[in-house]
Amino acid sequence: MAFTRFNLFLRDEFCCQYCGARGDLTFDHVVPRAAGGVSSWQNVVAACSPCNLKKGSRALHRTGMNLRKPPRQPGAEELRNTGRKFPPNHLHDSWMDFLYWDAELEA
């Protein structure tokens, strides 16, 4: 599976992996890039802006925050099944202005 924002958010069911909030999502490096963390399925999660700001570039264990589920690379079938949970055209309408979101993220 291509490592894209769209697929990352789909894997995480458009839900912040720290607090469970939906909407205003960005992505967060669990091990910060400043500490040698890489942009990969195993190190990046969907996060709401408030949680992303709260965590900052600190290690997760220093923040008192916990992940809802560990990051991992999803399979194609898993992403298809997750996508079926959302109403038709849900993603298309929400992301009309963000066509770049399905571009591969740089490692």
* CA within 13 Å, CB half, 8: 25
pLDDT of amino acid 91: 52
Are 65 and 18 a contacting pair, CB within 8 Å? yes
d(CA 55, CA 63): 6
For the chain, 107 residues long, give each residue's pLDDT as a single digit of tens.
899 988 999 999 999 999 999 888 999 999 999 999 999 999 999 999 999 999 999 999 999 999 999 999 999 999 988 888 876 655 544 454 554 555 666 65
Query: Taking the CB of residue 45, how many other CB atoms lie within 10 A of it?
Result: 26
Are 4 and 73 a contacting pair, CB within 8 Å? no
What pTM value is reported for the model?
0.78
pLDDT of amino acid 89: 54
pLDDT of amino acid 93: 46
